[in-house]
Structure 1
Protein backbone atom coordinates (compact mmCIF):
# COMPACT_ATOMS: atom_id res chain seq x y z
CA UNK A 1 0.00 0.00 0.00
CA UNK A 2 1.04 3.67 -0.29
CA UNK A 3 1.30 6.00 2.69
CA UNK A 4 3.15 9.16 3.62
CA UNK A 5 5.93 8.92 6.18
CA UNK A 6 8.08 11.56 7.81
CA UNK A 7 11.77 11.60 6.86
CA UNK A 8 12.14 14.65 9.11
CA UNK A 9 9.74 16.99 10.91
CA UNK A 10 9.26 18.94 7.68
CA UNK A 11 9.78 16.46 4.81
CA UNK A 12 7.22 13.92 3.63
CA UNK A 13 7.68 11.24 1.00
CA UNK A 14 5.31 8.71 -0.53
CA UNK A 15 6.31 5.07 -0.05
CA UNK A 16 4.85 1.88 -1.46
CA UNK A 17 5.65 -1.21 0.58
CA UNK A 18 4.33 -4.54 1.72
CA UNK A 19 3.83 -5.52 5.34
CA UNK A 20 3.72 -8.78 7.26
CA UNK A 21 2.61 -9.89 10.70
CA UNK A 22 4.81 -12.65 12.12
CA UNK A 23 4.07 -14.58 15.31
CA UNK A 24 6.97 -16.19 17.13
CA UNK A 25 9.05 -13.46 15.56
CA UNK A 26 11.66 -12.84 18.25
CA UNK A 27 13.88 -15.89 17.70
CA UNK A 28 14.40 -19.09 15.76
CA UNK A 29 12.49 -19.63 12.55
CA UNK A 30 10.25 -16.58 13.01
CA UNK A 31 13.21 -14.24 13.50
CA UNK A 32 14.95 -15.58 10.41
CA UNK A 33 11.79 -15.14 8.33
CA UNK A 34 11.54 -11.58 9.66
CA UNK A 35 15.19 -10.91 8.75
CA UNK A 36 14.71 -12.15 5.19
CA UNK A 37 11.50 -10.17 4.66
CA UNK A 38 13.04 -7.03 6.14
CA UNK A 39 15.95 -7.45 3.76
CA UNK A 40 13.47 -7.22 0.89
CA UNK A 41 11.90 -4.06 2.28
CA UNK A 42 8.88 -5.49 4.07
CA UNK A 43 7.61 -3.60 7.12
CA UNK A 44 6.80 -5.89 10.01
CA UNK A 45 4.76 -6.48 13.11
CA UNK A 46 6.55 -9.05 15.27
CA UNK A 47 4.71 -10.86 18.04
CA UNK A 48 6.27 -12.91 20.83
CA UNK A 49 5.81 -13.42 24.56
CA UNK A 50 9.28 -12.28 25.72
CA UNK A 51 9.41 -8.50 25.66
CA UNK A 52 13.20 -8.20 25.93
CA UNK A 53 13.96 -10.68 23.13
CA UNK A 54 11.28 -9.08 20.98
CA UNK A 55 12.64 -5.56 21.47
CA UNK A 56 16.18 -6.70 20.66
CA UNK A 57 15.10 -8.46 17.45
CA UNK A 58 13.10 -5.41 16.37
CA UNK A 59 16.04 -3.10 17.05
CA UNK A 60 18.43 -5.30 15.08
CA UNK A 61 16.11 -5.49 12.07
CA UNK A 62 15.63 -1.72 12.03
CA UNK A 63 19.39 -1.16 12.19
CA UNK A 64 20.17 -3.73 9.48
CA UNK A 65 17.39 -3.02 7.00
CA UNK A 66 15.91 0.39 7.78
CA UNK A 67 12.38 -1.00 7.75
CA UNK A 68 9.68 -0.17 10.25
CA UNK A 69 9.27 -2.90 12.86
CA UNK A 70 6.35 -2.94 15.28
CA UNK A 71 7.00 -5.29 18.24
CA UNK A 72 3.89 -6.43 20.10
CA UNK A 73 4.08 -8.67 23.17
CA UNK A 74 1.39 -11.34 23.08
CA UNK A 75 0.67 -14.71 24.66
CA UNK A 76 -0.63 -17.11 22.03
CA UNK A 77 -2.88 -18.86 24.55
CA UNK A 78 -4.72 -15.59 25.23
CA UNK A 79 -7.13 -15.18 22.32
CA UNK A 80 -7.90 -11.54 23.14
CA UNK A 81 -4.19 -10.74 22.81
CA UNK A 82 -4.10 -12.73 19.57
CA UNK A 83 -6.98 -10.71 18.07
CA UNK A 84 -5.34 -7.49 19.22
CA UNK A 85 -2.31 -8.24 17.04
CA UNK A 86 -4.34 -7.53 13.93
CA UNK A 87 -5.60 -4.24 15.35
CA UNK A 88 -2.05 -3.21 16.27
CA UNK A 89 -0.81 -4.08 12.79
CA UNK A 90 -3.65 -2.28 11.00
CA UNK A 91 -3.20 0.84 13.12
CA UNK A 92 0.50 0.95 12.21
CA UNK A 93 0.50 -0.13 8.56
CA UNK A 94 -3.06 -0.02 7.21
CA UNK A 95 -2.75 -3.22 5.17
CA UNK A 96 -1.54 -6.79 5.55
CA UNK A 97 0.12 -8.63 2.66
CA UNK A 98 1.38 -11.68 4.56
CA UNK A 99 0.43 -13.38 7.81
CA UNK A 100 3.16 -15.73 9.03
CA UNK A 101 2.16 -18.12 11.81
CA UNK A 102 5.48 -19.18 13.31
CA UNK A 103 4.66 -19.38 17.02
CA UNK A 104 4.37 -22.91 18.31
CA UNK A 105 4.95 -25.18 21.27
CA UNK A 106 5.65 -28.86 21.61
CA UNK A 107 6.03 -31.46 24.32
CA UNK A 108 7.03 -35.05 23.65
CA UNK A 109 5.08 -37.81 25.33
CA UNK A 110 3.21 -41.01 24.70
CA UNK A 111 -0.55 -40.86 24.22
CA UNK A 112 -1.18 -43.17 27.18
CA UNK A 113 0.73 -40.95 29.62
CA UNK A 114 0.14 -37.37 28.46
CA UNK A 115 -1.67 -35.07 30.95
CA UNK A 116 -4.61 -33.10 29.61
CA UNK A 117 -2.98 -29.76 30.46
CA UNK A 118 -0.04 -30.65 28.18
CA UNK A 119 -2.04 -31.32 25.06
CA UNK A 120 -4.45 -28.47 25.85
CA UNK A 121 -1.56 -26.00 25.73
CA UNK A 122 -0.47 -27.37 22.36
CA UNK A 123 -4.04 -27.06 21.09
CA UNK A 124 -4.17 -23.46 22.34
CA UNK A 125 -0.89 -22.29 20.81
CA UNK A 126 -0.67 -24.50 17.72
CA UNK A 127 -4.29 -24.43 16.55
CA UNK A 128 -6.66 -22.17 18.46
CA UNK A 129 -4.37 -19.15 18.16
CA UNK A 130 -3.78 -19.60 14.39
CA UNK A 131 -7.46 -20.02 13.52
CA UNK A 132 -8.36 -17.04 15.71
CA UNK A 133 -5.68 -14.89 14.11
CA UNK A 134 -6.70 -15.91 10.60
CA UNK A 135 -10.33 -15.04 11.36
CA UNK A 136 -9.31 -11.63 12.68
CA UNK A 137 -6.92 -10.95 9.80
CA UNK A 138 -9.03 -12.05 6.83
CA UNK A 139 -10.79 -8.69 6.24
CA UNK A 140 -7.42 -6.92 6.14
CA UNK A 141 -5.86 -9.64 3.97
CA UNK A 142 -8.75 -9.43 1.49
CA UNK A 143 -8.33 -5.65 1.31
CA UNK A 144 -4.61 -5.92 0.65
CA UNK A 145 -5.20 -8.64 -1.95
CA UNK A 146 -7.56 -6.31 -3.78
CA UNK A 147 -4.91 -3.57 -3.65
CA UNK A 148 -2.31 -5.98 -5.10
CA UNK A 149 -4.29 -8.05 -7.63
CA UNK A 150 -1.16 -9.58 -9.21
CA UNK A 151 0.11 -11.22 -6.03
CA UNK A 152 -2.84 -11.23 -3.67
CA UNK A 153 -2.17 -11.84 0.03
CA UNK A 154 -0.56 -14.87 1.67
CA UNK A 155 -0.91 -16.85 4.87
CA UNK A 156 2.03 -19.10 5.74
CA UNK A 157 1.78 -21.44 8.73
CA UNK A 158 4.68 -23.37 10.25
CA UNK A 159 3.39 -26.90 10.68
CA UNK A 160 5.51 -30.08 10.97
CA UNK A 161 6.29 -33.27 9.12
CA UNK A 162 4.71 -35.01 12.13
CA UNK A 163 1.41 -33.55 10.93
CA UNK A 164 1.87 -35.50 7.69
CA UNK A 165 3.31 -38.77 9.03
CA UNK A 166 2.79 -39.68 12.66
CA UNK A 167 5.76 -40.27 14.92
CA UNK A 168 5.84 -42.13 18.23
CA UNK A 169 6.10 -39.74 21.17
CA UNK A 170 4.83 -36.76 19.18
CA UNK A 171 1.17 -37.69 18.74
CA UNK A 172 -0.41 -34.61 20.32
CA UNK A 173 2.06 -32.23 18.68
CA UNK A 174 1.58 -33.89 15.31
CA UNK A 175 -2.20 -33.83 15.67
CA UNK A 176 -2.20 -30.06 16.21
CA UNK A 177 0.03 -29.62 13.17
CA UNK A 178 -2.20 -31.89 11.06
CA UNK A 179 -5.10 -29.63 12.03
CA UNK A 180 -3.07 -26.60 10.94
CA UNK A 181 -2.32 -28.20 7.56
CA UNK A 182 -6.01 -28.95 7.04
CA UNK A 183 -6.90 -25.41 8.07
CA UNK A 184 -4.57 -23.95 5.43
CA UNK A 185 -6.11 -26.12 2.71
CA UNK A 186 -9.63 -25.06 3.67
CA UNK A 187 -8.74 -21.37 3.90
CA UNK A 188 -7.41 -21.54 0.34
CA UNK A 189 -10.58 -23.27 -0.85
CA UNK A 190 -12.73 -20.59 0.76
CA UNK A 191 -10.59 -17.48 0.17
CA UNK A 192 -8.36 -17.90 -2.89
CA UNK A 193 -11.10 -16.41 -5.08
CA UNK A 194 -10.62 -13.30 -2.93
CA UNK A 195 -6.88 -13.37 -3.60
CA UNK A 196 -5.97 -14.86 -0.20
CA UNK A 197 -4.26 -18.26 -0.07
CA UNK A 198 -2.68 -20.27 2.74
CA UNK A 199 0.38 -22.50 2.71
CA UNK A 200 1.56 -24.85 5.44
CA UNK A 201 5.28 -25.59 5.68
CA UNK A 202 5.93 -28.98 7.29
CA UNK A 203 9.61 -29.51 8.15
CA UNK A 204 11.47 -32.14 10.08
CA UNK A 205 13.67 -31.09 12.99
CA UNK A 206 15.06 -27.57 12.57
CA UNK A 207 18.09 -26.46 14.59
CA UNK A 208 16.49 -24.03 17.05
CA UNK A 209 16.05 -23.71 20.81
CA UNK A 210 12.85 -25.74 20.49
CA UNK A 211 14.80 -28.82 19.35
CA UNK A 212 17.54 -28.56 22.01
CA UNK A 213 16.01 -31.56 23.82
CA UNK A 214 16.80 -33.73 20.79
CA UNK A 215 20.52 -32.93 20.55
CA UNK A 216 21.67 -35.90 22.63
CA UNK A 217 20.54 -38.26 19.88
CA UNK A 218 20.48 -36.00 16.81
CA UNK A 219 23.39 -33.68 16.08
CA UNK A 220 22.38 -30.13 15.10
CA UNK A 221 24.46 -30.53 11.94
CA UNK A 222 21.91 -33.11 10.76
CA UNK A 223 18.96 -30.78 11.29
CA UNK A 224 17.38 -28.34 8.87
CA UNK A 225 18.41 -24.69 9.04
CA UNK A 226 16.12 -21.78 9.86
CA UNK A 227 17.21 -20.30 6.54
CA UNK A 228 15.77 -23.30 4.71
CA UNK A 229 12.34 -22.46 6.08
CA UNK A 230 12.69 -18.72 5.50
CA UNK A 231 13.65 -19.33 1.88
CA UNK A 232 10.39 -21.17 1.29
CA UNK A 233 8.36 -18.44 2.96
CA UNK A 234 9.92 -15.84 0.69
CA UNK A 235 9.17 -18.00 -2.34
CA UNK A 236 5.50 -18.19 -1.37
CA UNK A 237 5.27 -14.40 -1.01
CA UNK A 238 6.61 -14.00 -4.56
CA UNK A 239 3.96 -16.18 -6.20
CA UNK A 240 1.06 -14.77 -8.17
CA UNK A 241 -2.43 -14.94 -6.75
CA UNK A 242 -3.14 -17.75 -9.25
CA UNK A 243 -0.66 -20.08 -7.52
CA UNK A 244 -1.90 -21.92 -4.44
CA UNK A 245 0.53 -24.18 -2.55
CA UNK A 246 -1.35 -26.17 0.11
CA UNK A 247 1.59 -27.75 1.93
CA UNK A 248 5.37 -27.93 1.55
CA UNK A 249 6.99 -30.94 3.22
CA UNK A 250 10.67 -30.51 4.01
CA UNK A 251 12.57 -33.55 5.26
CA UNK A 252 16.10 -33.91 6.53
CA UNK A 253 18.75 -35.60 4.42
CA UNK A 254 19.27 -39.27 5.17
CA UNK A 255 17.56 -42.62 4.88
CA UNK A 256 14.29 -41.77 6.71
CA UNK A 257 12.47 -39.47 4.35
CA UNK A 258 9.15 -39.21 6.25
CA UNK A 259 10.60 -38.99 9.75
CA UNK A 260 11.08 -35.80 11.72
Structure 2
Protein backbone atom coordinates (compact mmCIF):
# COMPACT_ATOMS: atom_id res chain seq x y z
CA UNK A 1 0.00 0.00 0.00
CA UNK A 2 1.32 3.45 -0.88
CA UNK A 3 2.31 5.94 1.81
CA UNK A 4 -0.42 7.94 3.48
CA UNK A 5 -0.63 11.56 2.38
CA UNK A 6 -1.46 14.69 4.36
CA UNK A 7 -1.94 18.39 3.70
CA UNK A 8 -1.04 20.70 6.60
CA UNK A 9 -1.94 24.40 6.51
CA UNK A 10 -0.14 26.94 8.65
CA UNK A 11 2.94 24.71 8.61
CA UNK A 12 5.73 27.28 8.71
CA UNK A 13 5.93 27.48 12.50
CA UNK A 14 4.35 26.51 15.80
CA UNK A 15 1.84 23.68 15.94
CA UNK A 16 1.73 23.28 12.16
CA UNK A 17 5.48 22.81 11.82
CA UNK A 18 5.55 20.31 14.69
CA UNK A 19 2.66 18.37 13.16
CA UNK A 20 4.43 18.25 9.79
CA UNK A 21 7.60 16.94 11.45
CA UNK A 22 5.73 14.22 13.33
CA UNK A 23 3.71 13.15 10.30
CA UNK A 24 6.88 12.88 8.22
CA UNK A 25 8.40 10.71 10.95
CA UNK A 26 5.29 8.50 10.67
CA UNK A 27 5.94 8.12 6.93
CA UNK A 28 3.34 10.52 5.51
CA UNK A 29 4.01 12.25 2.22
CA UNK A 30 3.06 15.89 2.68
CA UNK A 31 1.89 19.13 1.23
CA UNK A 32 2.78 21.99 3.58
CA UNK A 33 1.35 25.45 3.21
CA UNK A 34 1.68 28.96 4.65
CA UNK A 35 1.75 32.53 3.34
CA UNK A 36 5.56 32.60 3.17
CA UNK A 37 7.32 29.79 1.34
CA UNK A 38 10.91 30.39 2.51
CA UNK A 39 10.54 28.56 5.85
CA UNK A 40 8.48 25.88 4.12
CA UNK A 41 11.26 25.21 1.61
CA UNK A 42 13.72 24.69 4.46
CA UNK A 43 11.32 22.44 6.31
CA UNK A 44 10.55 20.38 3.21
CA UNK A 45 14.23 19.81 2.50
CA UNK A 46 14.85 18.74 6.09
CA UNK A 47 11.91 16.33 6.19
CA UNK A 48 12.85 14.72 2.89
CA UNK A 49 16.46 14.30 4.01
CA UNK A 50 15.51 12.90 7.42
CA UNK A 51 12.60 10.65 6.53
CA UNK A 52 12.68 10.09 2.77
CA UNK A 53 9.14 11.38 2.30
CA UNK A 54 7.85 13.52 -0.56
CA UNK A 55 7.05 17.06 0.53
CA UNK A 56 5.33 19.61 -1.68
CA UNK A 57 5.38 23.31 -0.78
CA UNK A 58 2.50 25.67 -1.56
CA UNK A 59 2.26 29.31 -0.60
CA UNK A 60 -1.29 30.41 0.15
CA UNK A 61 -3.07 33.29 1.84
CA UNK A 62 -6.03 31.53 3.45
CA UNK A 63 -8.10 34.71 3.42
CA UNK A 64 -8.20 34.52 -0.40
CA UNK A 65 -10.49 31.92 -1.96
CA UNK A 66 -8.40 31.68 -5.12
CA UNK A 67 -5.34 30.80 -3.03
CA UNK A 68 -7.28 28.14 -1.16
CA UNK A 69 -8.50 26.52 -4.37
CA UNK A 70 -5.02 26.71 -5.87
CA UNK A 71 -3.64 24.95 -2.80
CA UNK A 72 -6.04 22.07 -3.39
CA UNK A 73 -4.91 21.92 -7.03
CA UNK A 74 -1.24 21.75 -6.01
CA UNK A 75 -1.90 18.85 -3.68
CA UNK A 76 -3.98 16.93 -6.24
CA UNK A 77 -1.43 17.45 -8.99
CA UNK A 78 1.55 16.30 -6.93
CA UNK A 79 0.16 13.58 -4.67
CA UNK A 80 -3.08 12.43 -6.28
CA UNK A 81 -4.63 11.16 -3.05
CA UNK A 82 -5.31 12.46 0.45
CA UNK A 83 -5.66 10.62 3.74
CA UNK A 84 -5.41 13.51 6.19
CA UNK A 85 -6.28 17.20 6.02
CA UNK A 86 -4.93 19.30 8.91
CA UNK A 87 -6.65 22.69 9.06
CA UNK A 88 -4.18 24.56 11.24
CA UNK A 89 -3.90 27.97 9.59
CA UNK A 90 -5.61 30.57 11.72
CA UNK A 91 -5.82 34.19 12.79
CA UNK A 92 -6.28 35.44 16.34
CA UNK A 93 -6.95 38.99 17.52
CA UNK A 94 -8.46 39.92 20.86
CA UNK A 95 -10.47 43.02 21.74
CA UNK A 96 -13.56 44.18 23.59
CA UNK A 97 -16.79 43.46 21.73
CA UNK A 98 -18.13 47.01 22.12
CA UNK A 99 -15.68 48.49 19.62
CA UNK A 100 -14.24 45.43 17.85
CA UNK A 101 -13.59 46.23 14.15
CA UNK A 102 -16.02 44.31 11.97
CA UNK A 103 -13.47 44.19 9.13
CA UNK A 104 -11.19 42.20 11.46
CA UNK A 105 -14.05 39.80 12.21
CA UNK A 106 -14.64 39.38 8.47
CA UNK A 107 -10.99 38.49 7.85
CA UNK A 108 -10.94 36.12 10.81
CA UNK A 109 -14.05 34.35 9.50
CA UNK A 110 -12.42 34.00 6.09
CA UNK A 111 -9.25 32.47 7.50
CA UNK A 112 -10.56 30.44 10.44
CA UNK A 113 -13.77 29.11 8.90
CA UNK A 114 -14.34 29.85 5.23
CA UNK A 115 -10.94 28.56 4.10
CA UNK A 116 -11.57 25.28 5.96
CA UNK A 117 -14.98 24.97 4.32
CA UNK A 118 -13.68 25.63 0.80
CA UNK A 119 -10.52 23.55 1.06
CA UNK A 120 -12.37 20.53 2.43
CA UNK A 121 -15.02 20.79 -0.29
CA UNK A 122 -12.28 20.83 -2.90
CA UNK A 123 -10.50 17.80 -1.45
CA UNK A 124 -13.51 15.77 -0.32
CA UNK A 125 -13.43 13.45 -3.37
CA UNK A 126 -9.89 12.39 -2.42
CA UNK A 127 -10.84 11.93 1.23
CA UNK A 128 -13.77 9.76 0.18
CA UNK A 129 -11.43 7.46 -1.74
CA UNK A 130 -9.31 7.08 1.40
CA UNK A 131 -12.48 6.50 3.42
CA UNK A 132 -13.42 3.66 1.13
CA UNK A 133 -10.02 2.06 0.52
CA UNK A 134 -7.78 2.79 3.53
CA UNK A 135 -8.00 1.22 7.00
CA UNK A 136 -7.58 4.63 8.65
CA UNK A 137 -10.09 6.22 6.29
CA UNK A 138 -10.02 9.89 5.42
CA UNK A 139 -9.67 12.29 8.31
CA UNK A 140 -9.97 16.06 8.75
CA UNK A 141 -8.48 17.61 11.89
CA UNK A 142 -9.24 21.27 12.48
CA UNK A 143 -7.31 23.17 15.13
CA UNK A 144 -10.03 25.03 17.01
CA UNK A 145 -9.91 26.36 20.59
CA UNK A 146 -11.56 26.07 23.99
CA UNK A 147 -12.77 29.63 23.34
CA UNK A 148 -15.16 28.04 20.85
CA UNK A 149 -16.68 26.01 23.70
CA UNK A 150 -16.68 28.46 26.62
CA UNK A 151 -16.69 32.25 26.35
CA UNK A 152 -13.55 34.18 27.29
CA UNK A 153 -13.37 37.97 27.72
CA UNK A 154 -12.01 39.79 24.65
CA UNK A 155 -12.52 36.72 22.42
CA UNK A 156 -15.97 37.42 20.99
CA UNK A 157 -14.71 37.27 17.39
CA UNK A 158 -12.06 34.57 17.69
CA UNK A 159 -14.28 32.37 19.85
CA UNK A 160 -17.19 32.74 17.45
CA UNK A 161 -15.08 31.57 14.50
CA UNK A 162 -13.82 28.57 16.46
CA UNK A 163 -17.32 27.69 17.68
CA UNK A 164 -18.45 27.68 14.06
CA UNK A 165 -15.49 25.48 13.13
CA UNK A 166 -16.39 23.00 15.88
CA UNK A 167 -20.01 22.89 14.71
CA UNK A 168 -18.92 22.38 11.12
CA UNK A 169 -16.70 19.44 12.09
CA UNK A 170 -19.60 17.74 13.84
CA UNK A 171 -21.99 18.22 10.93
CA UNK A 172 -19.35 17.09 8.44
CA UNK A 173 -18.94 13.82 10.34
CA UNK A 174 -22.70 13.18 10.44
CA UNK A 175 -22.76 13.44 6.66
CA UNK A 176 -19.54 11.63 5.75
CA UNK A 177 -18.50 9.20 8.50
CA UNK A 178 -20.48 6.21 7.22
CA UNK A 179 -18.22 6.44 4.18
CA UNK A 180 -15.07 6.38 6.32
CA UNK A 181 -14.42 10.14 6.41
CA UNK A 182 -14.69 12.12 9.64
CA UNK A 183 -13.61 15.41 11.19
CA UNK A 184 -12.26 16.26 14.63
CA UNK A 185 -12.09 19.70 16.20
CA UNK A 186 -8.94 19.81 18.30
CA UNK A 187 -9.65 22.37 21.04
CA UNK A 188 -6.65 23.47 23.09
CA UNK A 189 -6.50 26.28 25.57
CA UNK A 190 -3.72 28.84 25.24
CA UNK A 191 -0.68 27.26 23.58
CA UNK A 192 2.82 28.66 24.02
CA UNK A 193 3.40 29.84 20.45
CA UNK A 194 4.14 33.14 18.74
CA UNK A 195 0.40 33.85 18.51
CA UNK A 196 0.05 33.99 22.31
CA UNK A 197 3.23 35.90 23.19
CA UNK A 198 1.20 39.06 23.71
CA UNK A 199 -0.82 37.34 26.45
CA UNK A 200 2.20 36.54 28.62
CA UNK A 201 1.25 39.13 31.26
CA UNK A 202 -2.13 37.44 31.72
CA UNK A 203 -1.02 33.82 31.33
CA UNK A 204 2.75 33.19 31.45
CA UNK A 205 3.85 31.03 28.55
CA UNK A 206 5.33 28.44 30.90
CA UNK A 207 1.77 27.88 32.16
CA UNK A 208 0.32 27.46 28.66
CA UNK A 209 0.06 24.16 26.82
CA UNK A 210 3.31 23.04 25.18
CA UNK A 211 2.84 23.04 21.40
CA UNK A 212 4.57 19.65 21.32
CA UNK A 213 1.68 18.17 23.35
CA UNK A 214 -0.90 19.60 20.96
CA UNK A 215 0.96 18.18 17.97
CA UNK A 216 1.28 14.80 19.66
CA UNK A 217 -2.45 14.69 20.41
CA UNK A 218 -3.25 15.57 16.81
CA UNK A 219 -0.97 12.92 15.34
CA UNK A 220 -2.38 10.36 17.76
CA UNK A 221 -5.79 10.80 16.12
CA UNK A 222 -4.30 9.66 12.80
CA UNK A 223 -3.59 6.23 14.27
CA UNK A 224 -7.29 5.48 14.75
CA UNK A 225 -9.19 3.42 12.21
CA UNK A 226 -12.05 4.75 10.13
CA UNK A 227 -14.45 2.98 12.51
CA UNK A 228 -13.82 5.56 15.23
CA UNK A 229 -15.08 9.15 15.08
CA UNK A 230 -13.80 11.76 17.54
CA UNK A 231 -16.03 14.85 17.23
CA UNK A 232 -13.79 17.02 19.40
CA UNK A 233 -10.75 16.70 21.64
CA UNK A 234 -10.27 19.28 24.37
CA UNK A 235 -6.82 20.02 25.83
CA UNK A 236 -6.70 22.29 28.85
CA UNK A 237 -4.25 23.67 31.41
CA UNK A 238 -3.96 22.24 34.92
CA UNK A 239 -5.84 24.14 37.60
CA UNK A 240 -9.16 24.41 39.45
CA UNK A 241 -11.05 25.75 36.41
CA UNK A 242 -10.76 23.36 33.48
CA UNK A 243 -13.14 25.18 31.15
CA UNK A 244 -10.90 28.12 30.30
CA UNK A 245 -8.38 28.99 27.65
Q: Give TM-score, length-normalised by structure 1.
A: 0.92
Q: Which residue of 2 aligns with 1:235?
A: 220
Do residues 197 (structure 1) and 194 (structure 2) align?
no
Q: Which residue of 1 aligns with 2:101?
A: 115
Question: Runs ≥4 in structure 1, deviation > 4 angstroms?
Answer: none
Larger-Rg structure: 1
Do residues 73 (structure 1) and 59 (structure 2) align?
yes
Q: Which residue of 1 aligns with 2:44?
A: 58
Q: Which residue of 2 aligns with 1:156?
A: 141
Query: 1:115 deviation in Å?
Result: 0.8
Gaps of 5+ in 1: 3-15
Do residues 93 (structure 1) and 79 (structure 2) align?
yes
Q: Which residue of 2 aligns with 1:248?
A: 233
Deviation sequence 1:164-183 (CA, Å, 0-9, x none) = 00101011100000000000
Q: Which residue of 1 aligns with 2:200?
A: 215
- Answer yes or no: is the 8 Å Cα contact 1:159–1:203 preserved in 2: yes
Mapped to 2, the partners of 1:101 and 1:50 lie a distance apart of 17
Q: Which residue of 2 aligns with 1:11?
A: none
Do residues 82 (structure 1) and 68 (structure 2) align?
yes
Q: Which residue of 1 aligns with 2:128?
A: 142
Mapped to 2, the partners of 1:161 and 1:188 lie a distance apart of 20
Q: Give TM-score, length-normalised by structure 2.
A: 0.97
Q: Quick check: which one's strand share is greater? A: 1
Gaps of 5+ in 2: none
Question: Cα RMSD (Å) of the superposition?
Answer: 1.0
- What is the total number of aligned residue pairs between the two structures? 245
